């Protein structure tokens, strides 16, 4: 084997190592992003649940208010 072939093989080995390091770094970034994505999804789920509960409570409050107004109106009509 000549010296130029040894240099070429060495250069290829170095490129493979650099590419391997880049792959490792990208894999870590992907894992970090997946973790953040899961955390964000849990936050969205929690906020959606809270919104649904709030809307349900508001709807229930409106029904009770309407019932109270209706009953008060009916009582006033009966009294007159």
Q: Take residue 41 and report the two structure tokens written for it.
A: 């999804």
- The predicted structure's pLDDT at residue 80: 56
pLDDT over threshold 90, residue 57: no
- The predicted structure's pLDDT at residue 71: 63
| Model confidence pTM above 0.75 | no
**From CA 58, how far away is CA 51, in angstroms rounded?**
10
- The predicted structure's pLDDT at residue 2: 85
- Residue spans of the domains in the chain: they are 1-80
In the chain, beta strands by DSSP E:
none
Tens digit of each residue's pLDDT (9 = 90 or more) over 5-39: 999 999 999 999 999 999 999 999 999 999 999 99
């Amino acid at each position: 084997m000549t010296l130029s072939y040894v240099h070429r093989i060495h250069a290829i080995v170095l490129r493979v190592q650099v590419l391997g390091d880049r792959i490792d770094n990208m894999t870590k970034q992907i894992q970090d992003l997946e973790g953040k994505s899961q955390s964000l999804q849990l936050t969205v789920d929690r906020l959606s649940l809270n919104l649904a509960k709030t809307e349900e409570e508001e709807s229930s409050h409106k029904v009770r208010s309407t019932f109270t107004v209706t009953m008060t109106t009916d009582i006033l009509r009966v009294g007159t």
